[in-house]
Each structure stands twice: as structure tokens, then as C-alpha cells.
Amino acid sequence: MRNKLRLLTPGPTPLPEEVRLALAQDMVHHRKAGFKEVLHRVQEGLQWLFGTRQPVLPLTCSGSGAMNAALWNLFAPGERVLVVDAGKFGQRWGDIAQSRGLEITAIRLPWGVAVSPAQIQEALDNDPSIRGVLVQASETSTGVLHPIREIAEITKVRETLLVVDGISAVAISPCPMDDWGVDCLLTGSQKGLMLPPGLAFIALSPRAWNEVERHPCAVAYFDLLRERENCGKNQTLFTPAINLLNGLDVSLHLFRKQGLEEIFRKQWALTCMTRAGVQALGLDLMVKENYTWGLTSILLPQGMDGQRLLEIAARDYGVVMAGGQDHLKGRIVRLGHMGHVDFADILAGIYALRQSFKACGGHSGSRDYLEISLAAYQQALDHKT
């Protein structure tokens, strides 16, 4: 029997049919009136989604491209940044900062732990030369949610820019850029936005733009000043991924029909549902507190072959989940619940997790695990905190 495939990975994520149809359209020319209208509409939608009055620049690249663009435009070689290194993507901040010739102070945390605002405060107090704090809103390699709002309280009263990789947070959990005082927020298309990979988006605060204007431009492809100029004319500097922007037009329309609060409420409920189901199966959650709303990381018992478990879930149940990265490879399962995913997908995911866990020699927990997870879902929908 061949099951329907369900992509429950923390990116890429499944697509709504409306978006897939938009992606399938024939090409239009990107400098003609019709497409300018699309760019204009998309710009308004992106500003709404990011919670900003500043332009949100679409870049044709994966999410890491926007991380690159941020550091190459905001800082000059020799300037010091504080990197929150709590997983694979925190490390990526460090790698990109190094490629830009920045001096790095790192807060290194065990995987699965969120940074505390006090740690940021201390680091900045110790070294007033730090010009930027680089952090993930959601560290996708572990499933941790960093306290962006509290960190912004610290950075906004100093001359320190807060640069946030929101790739697995935007359209998943709140990060209203202007309200919180985030200086740079960026994301990619294939996580929360219900799109394929290939687009990234970046917005800067007025004081971050001042920094960009202060530095000579270091890169031609990611020249944000020129992108901003083009954005003002409903254009992009280079040929954009036209079909992805058509898809974005549709996904933003779907989001706006729901409203931000509904989107976040659903994400929160899916998170509660997954966590309750996993615990009812007698499995351990990797992140006990400060967990992200877009994926759930599950610790496997010592000695179990996590790769095999994932293969069985995909082969026999059509459920594709992700494993761990680096030292967590084979040790954890990351079940993604971001993008176009609903409670029925999570039911299938938890069932597949249980069956493949048993096939790998695991014990099975409560027989009521599906009801327990559904009850948690309903309760979260009813009382969103």
C-alpha cells in the first residue's frame, strides 16, 4: 500500500493547492506593469507579516543568503559582534561573521538551551565595542525559542544592532519587528511561508539603515541600498524568482484572510498537540522550556537507530520527518509543524512516530496517545496564552 506523503520537516514544508497553481503559471516580464502590481501587493503583505513600516526586501536566494546580506551590509571588517551559538544556525552566524572579517564574541550554549537576557546584558556590559547581537528567533537545529523581545529591550537603549534570523519564526510565532525594536529581521520562503525554497526577505530598522549608509557597499549582488531603491519603484535589482513571488502573493493573501493571531494560535496549538502526543508515547522532549512553535525535537532512547526510525516512518507511513544534525544525528527526531500543516497531519505524524518507534524496539506508551494529543490541541485553541 502506498500512503500519501506528508512532509513534516522543519523546512521545506508542504504547499497549499492555491500556491502550487500560482507557481505553475507561465512567465511574465518582471519590469512590466502587471508584475509591478504583484510586487507592490507583496510588499504591503510582507510589511504586515514582519510588523514593520520599513521596506521588506525580497532576495532571490535561500535563507542563508539573507543572513549573508545582513552582515555584509551592516558591519565593516574589524567590528565586533556578539553571536548566540546555541546550535547549527547560531554557528552559521559565526561562520558568516568570520567571512566578513568581523571580530566575534560568542555565547556558547548547550544544544537545547535558550540564551537568557542576562547573558546578553552581561556580554554587552563587558564590552561596549560590540556593535551587533546575532541570534536566531528559533534555533531550528534544536527547537529552542530565544527571547527576542527581552533581548531587544537591552539592545534598543544602546548603540547595538539586534540582528535576528527569523527563518523558522516568521509566520510561525510572534516577532513584530517595529514593536519589539528588532533592527534586522530576515526569513526564507520554505519554512513558515508555505512556499518552495528560493526566496529570502530582509527588513532593517531606521538606525540599521543608517549603518548601511555609513559603510561602503561590499557586495554587488546583495547591495541592500540599491535593493531598497528598486523596491520603492516596485522593482528588484536583478531578475527575481518571478513564479515564487506569484506564489507569495497567494500565500500572503491566505495569511491575511486568517489574520496573524489565528496563524499563531494554530501554530501554538499544533505545538501543544505534538508535545502532548510525544509525552503520551513515553518519549522525551528535547526542549523542556522555551520551545519553538514550528517543530518539536524528540529524544530517542540511548542506542536506538534514529536513521532507521525515520526510514520506516517514511517508507511505511508516508511521514517524512527530520533527524538531528551533527552530534545529534540519529539521536533525535525533529517533527516539523510549520507552514501548510494541520492537526490531521500531526495525527498522522504521531501515529507514524509510534509505529516506527515500536518497529525499532521501543516500548509503546499510553494507548490513548491520539486522544491525549487531540485534547491538548483543542485546549490550546480554546485558551491561547
Tell me the binding residues for substrate.
Answer: 334
- Binding-site members are 334
Q: Shortest gap between Cβ of 62 and ligand PLP (angstroms)? A: 3
Nearest of 327, 281, 289 to residue 306 by alpha carbon = 327
Distance, CA of 358 to CA of 383 (rounded, Å): 33
Q: Shortest gap between Cβ of 191 and ligand PLP (angstroms)? A: 6
Q: Is 276 exposed, middle or buried (0-12, 13-18, 19+ CB in 10 A)?
A: buried
Q: Cβ closer to ligand PLP: 164 or 298? A: 164
Q: Cβ closer to ligand PLP: 92 or 266? A: 92
Distance, CA of 71 to CA of 351 (rounded, Å): 42
Query: Dihedrals φ, ψ of 103, to 5°?
Result: -85, 140
Distance, CA of 382 to CA of 385 (rounded, Å): 10
| Relative orientation angle of helices 369-382 and 260-280, to the nearest 10 degrees | 150
Q: Shortest gap between Cβ of 63 and ligand PLP (angstroms)? A: 3
Distance, CA of 63 to CA of 77 (rounded, Å): 22
Q: Shortest gap between Cβ of 66 and ligand PLP (angstroms)? A: 8
Q: Shortest gap between Cβ of 133 and ligand PLP (angstroms)? A: 15
Q: Cβ closer to ligand PLP: 89 or 343? A: 89
Q: Shortest gap between Cβ of 245 and ligand PLP (angstroms)? A: 16
Q: Cβ closer to ligand PLP: 96 or 242? A: 96
Distance, CA of 222 to CA of 196 (rounded, Å): 21
Q: Shortest gap between Cβ of 90 and ligand PLP (angstroms)? A: 9
Which residues of the shown chain bind ligand PLP in the complex (CB under 6 A)? Answer: 11, 62-64, 89, 136, 138, 140, 165, 167-168, 188, 191, 197
Four-CA torsion 77, 83, 86, 91, nearest 10 degrees: 0
Position of cell 556580554? 123
Q: Cβ closer to ligand PLP: 168 or 373? A: 168
Q: Cβ closer to ligand PLP: 63 or 181? A: 63
How far, rounded to the nearest angstrom, does the alpha carbon of residue 164 sit from its chain's CA centroid? 10
- Long-range Cβ contacts of 28-35 (<8 Å, 24+ apart): 28/242, 30/235, 30/236, 30/239, 30/240, 30/242, 31/235, 35/242, 35/245
Distance, CA of 290 to CA of 150 (rounded, Å): 13
* Residues recorded for the chain: 385
Q: Cβ closer to ligand PLP: 165 or 211? A: 165
Given a contact cutoff of 8 angstroms between Cβ atoms, the answer to whether 20 and 252 are in contact is no
Q: Shortest gap between Cβ of 254 and ligand PLP (angstroms)? A: 21
220 Cβ contact list (under 8 Å, min separation 6) = none
Q: Cβ closer to ligand PLP: 85 or 165? A: 165
